[in-house]
Amino acid sequence: MAFSFNENLNNLNHFWQALKADESHEMFTHQSWPNKYWQADFNVPDTISAATLPLNKVVSTIIDLAEPKRLGLAIKNQLVIMNLKLDQAVNSTSGQTYPNIVKLSVGDDISHWVKACSEAFGYEIDTSVIQSLLNNSNASIFSYLIAGEVAGTAISYKTGDTLGIHQLGTAPDFRKMGIALALMEHILAQAVSQKCQFVSLQASQAGLHMYEKLGFKSMGKLTSYTIAESFY
């Protein structure tokens, strides 16, 4: 259990580092989206507070801060850390193929993917950051296309024998059509073909039921804190 939990966090750490992160004093941060601030083990420094958190960043951690208000911080979101051991998967690979799903390659126009993913998650994604992933051999960027339009997005990122799933989203006009499940099954098949043992993700409440049906197990929470409005 502890091993797979650590592999989940290791995958997320390396994926976030791949999104054009900088390191200083054992902390990583982004200059633009996704605007994270974190330690490799997802603990937090003893000095963390609104006064030390870089402006417009969120600090993400597995630690529950006892008194975030006293530190000038507020919870922005909480995600459920989930893992799937492939030999325990529930209908993880149906054997069905999805011709609508395409993998982006170096030189492809990613603007439509970025637009769809931004709409799916409700925040603006930095095109240059996604562009840089196309040169990363550990990353695969997928689009689900309907009539040439990007209806769904996903990124898989491999570390060791773990394949992490990131930015799995469906554009608002295409929801409730089974697109997220199709992308999940496609990536799970990729994990099998790459001989991975684990598939990892960090789930919002919206996707929790689908992941549980596929056999993913909850292992903890990842909390993101931001500077509280009352601090300003």
pLDDT, one tens digit for every residue, the chain (232 residues): 566 899 999 999 999 999 999 999 899 999 999 999 999 999 998 899 999 999 999 999 999 998 999 999 999 999 999 999 998 665 555 557 789 999 999 999 999 999 999 999 999 999 999 999 999 999 999 999 999 999 999 999 999 999 999 999 999 999 999 999 999 999 999 999 999 999 999 999 989 999 999 999 999 999 999 999 887 6
Q: Which CATH superfamily is domain 84-219 in?
A: Gcn5-related N-acetyltransferase (GNAT) (3.40.630.30)
In this predicted structure, what is the pLDDT of residue 158? 98
Per-domain residue ranges for the chain?
2-79+221-231, 84-219
Q: Quote the CA–CA distance of 128 and 19 in Å, as a whole number.
A: 9
Q: Residues 6 or more apart from 189 whose CB is under 8 A from it?
A: 93
Q: How far is CA 122 from CA 116, 118, 142, 167, in A?
A: 10, 6, 19, 12
Tokens representing residue 197 in the block = 């043992």
Complete edge-to-edge strand list for the sheet that includes strand 139-146? 21-24, 27-30, 36-38, 58-61, 217-227, 73-85, 198-203, 162-170, 149-159, 139-146, 101-103
What DSSP character marks residue 95? S
